[in-house]
């Protein structure tokens, strides 16, 4: 049984733990691969953030001609070369993934790479099903960074029809004429934008009354209003079954008006994700899980077994790459300095939805502030009321801020509209460093007539004491 100083499970943010300070450690990385090609490098690189945003940018360009009409510019989308788009993106992604695997397997002398499904077979003991058979390894320290995977609903007929998930849909051979997307969260919203912009007829199906229901209610309602003008949006629907129909499929629903059926040529299941802790049989390693199946950690990312840490989607409420990277740096420090541990800072975690329009958010929603009894004031600012908004002829985007009426400290910020993930960044910075709204608005120059004036005016609109 081989013994290591450190075993890292997962090749995403966990892979980034190792720098020159670990050169003297005997390290094992255990990775089962991800996606249809069992790629190295984790979710973000291979099936998540990076390739999806490369598709999103392509979709934004494809949607440009339609936006030109209101500006007096006549443009035409003459065609979409899907395979060229797909191959351009994955030639880059797959090269990076293969390079990462080669570096760890061949050019990291203190690292042993195990490829295969791993399960705990005891405390600090892991059995890996490699191509050469099972191998059991032990270590003084473990870092569980095994990520998550798409969660499939218990839908009659699903396993009998061809379906896609976010892990696989970007590698379609051909664009379908009609796509049904189950799920109105960020995955469904982003892929609806991608495929509809490339000419696919999209039906978006959700159980709740709005799309992106986790966003601030005003943001979710505005996005839903816009979405229903572009896609066939079916809300308040419960999927009852799915079946083949020739070369396509039919999804059966139960909704406000009773039973209905939706035909399609492809089905994308985007109903959520689940942590991979169950695949590891974490309890067999003495590792405590939360009620939703994640590895339970404290503020230093330590798990219930001494010498075991966890980070990223397998343990974090925030299934976001920037959170996983932050937690990685915390674990990295605590591995190297066990007598001087630091804690993760999850106070102000931002997120974005790269659909059309884009959305970005940080901090409390108005609904959360009300439920928690937190005193707050609210302001909104439309894109249409700033000069750059006039240039874009944007009539739907806005920023919404929540602040403490006494201190002026920002409690939450929510933006829907062009470049929202970029425009929100100064507000994230202000929240982290305790800059109040009045000082932020009046204590610096704001370039005119640039898009950040949206933030400046929203700050000035806050009714502070």
Active-site annotation, residues: 448
353 has which bridge partners?
359
Can you tell me whether residue 221 is helix, strand or coil? helix
Cα–Cα distance between 295 and 145 in angstroms, integer?
10
What are residue 226's phi and psi, to 5 degrees? -70, -40
What are residue 190's phi and psi, to 5 degrees? -70, -45
164 has which bridge partners?
268
Cα–Cα distance between 137 and 259 in angstroms, integer?
54
Cα–Cα distance between 312 and 318 in angstroms, integer?
8
What Cα–Cα distance (Å) separates residue 285 from each residue in 10, 120, 124, 205, 295? 16, 5, 6, 39, 11
In DSSP notation, 275-314 reads EGGGTTTGGGGT--B-TTSPBP--TT-B-SSTTEEE-GGG
Beta strands 133-144 and 125-130, pairing class: antiparallel
What Cα–Cα distance (Å) separates residue 140 from each residue in 13, 26, 27, 137, 280? 20, 10, 10, 11, 18
- Measured at the alpha carbon of residue 432, what is the angle toward residues 430 and 438, in degrees to the nearest 5? 25
**Is the peptide bond between 285 and the residue preceding it cis, with omega within 30 degrees of 0?**
no
99 CB contacts (<8 Å, ≥6 apart)?
A: none
Cα–Cα distance between 378 and 367 in angstroms, integer?
12
134 has which bridge partners?
129
């Amino acid at each position: 049984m081989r013994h290591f100083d450190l075993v890292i499970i997962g090749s995403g943010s966990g892979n980034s733990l190792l720098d020159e300070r670990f050169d003297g450690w005997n390290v094992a990385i255990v990775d089962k691969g991800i996606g249809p090609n069992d790629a190295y490098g984790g979710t973000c690189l291979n099936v998540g953030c990076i390739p999806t945003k490369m598709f999103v940018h392509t979709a934004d360009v494809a949607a440009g001609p339609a936006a030109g009409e209101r500006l007096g510019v006549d443009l035409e989308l003459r065609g979409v070369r899907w395979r060229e788009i797909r191959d351009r993106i994955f030639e880059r992604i797959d090269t990076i993934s293969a390079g990462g695997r080669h570096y760890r397997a061949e050019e990291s002398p203190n690292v042993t790479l195990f490829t295969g499904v791993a399960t705990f077979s005891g405390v600090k003991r892991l059995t890996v099903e490699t191509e050469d058979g099972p191998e059991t390894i032990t270590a003084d320290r473990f870092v569980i960074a095994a990520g998550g995977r798409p969660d499939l609903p218990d839908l009659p007929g699903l396993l009998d029809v061809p379906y896609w998930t976010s892990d696989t849909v970007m590698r379609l051979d051909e664009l379908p004429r009609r796509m049904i997307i189950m799920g109105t969260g960020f995955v469904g919203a982003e892929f609806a934008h991608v495929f509809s912009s490339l000419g696919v007829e999209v039906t978006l199906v959700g159980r709740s009354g709005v799309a992106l229901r986790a966003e601030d209610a005003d943001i979710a309602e505005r996005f839903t209003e816009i979405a229903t003008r572009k896609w066939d949006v079916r809300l308040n629907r419960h999927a009852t079954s799915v079946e083949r129909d020739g070369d396509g499929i039919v999804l059966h629903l139960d909704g406000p008006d009773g039973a209905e059926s939706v035909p399609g040529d492809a089905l994308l299941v985007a109903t959520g994700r689940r942590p991979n802790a169950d695949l590891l049989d974490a309890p067999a390693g003495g590792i405590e899980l939360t009620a939703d199946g994640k590895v339970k950690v404290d503020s230093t990312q330590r798990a219930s077994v001494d010498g075991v840490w966890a980070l990223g989607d397998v343990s974090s409420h925030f299934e976001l790459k920037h959170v996983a990277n932050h937690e990685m740096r915390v674990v990295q420090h605590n591995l190297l300095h066990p007598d001087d541990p630091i804690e993760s800072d999850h106070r102000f975690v931002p997120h974005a939805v790269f659909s059309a329009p884009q959305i970005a958010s940080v901090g409390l929603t108005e609904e959360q502030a009300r439920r928690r009894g937190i005193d707050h004031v609210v302001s909104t600012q439309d894109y249409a009321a700033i000069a750059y908004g006039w240039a874009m002829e944007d009539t739907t985007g806005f920023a919404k801020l929540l602040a403490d009426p006494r201190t002026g400290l920002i409690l939450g910020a929510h933006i829907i509209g062009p470049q929202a993930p970029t425009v929100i960044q100064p507000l994230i910075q202000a929240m982290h460093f305790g800059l109040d709204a009045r000082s932020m608005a009046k204590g610096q120059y704001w370039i005119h007539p640039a898009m950040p004036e949206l933030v400046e005016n929203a700050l000035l609109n806050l009714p502070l004491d």
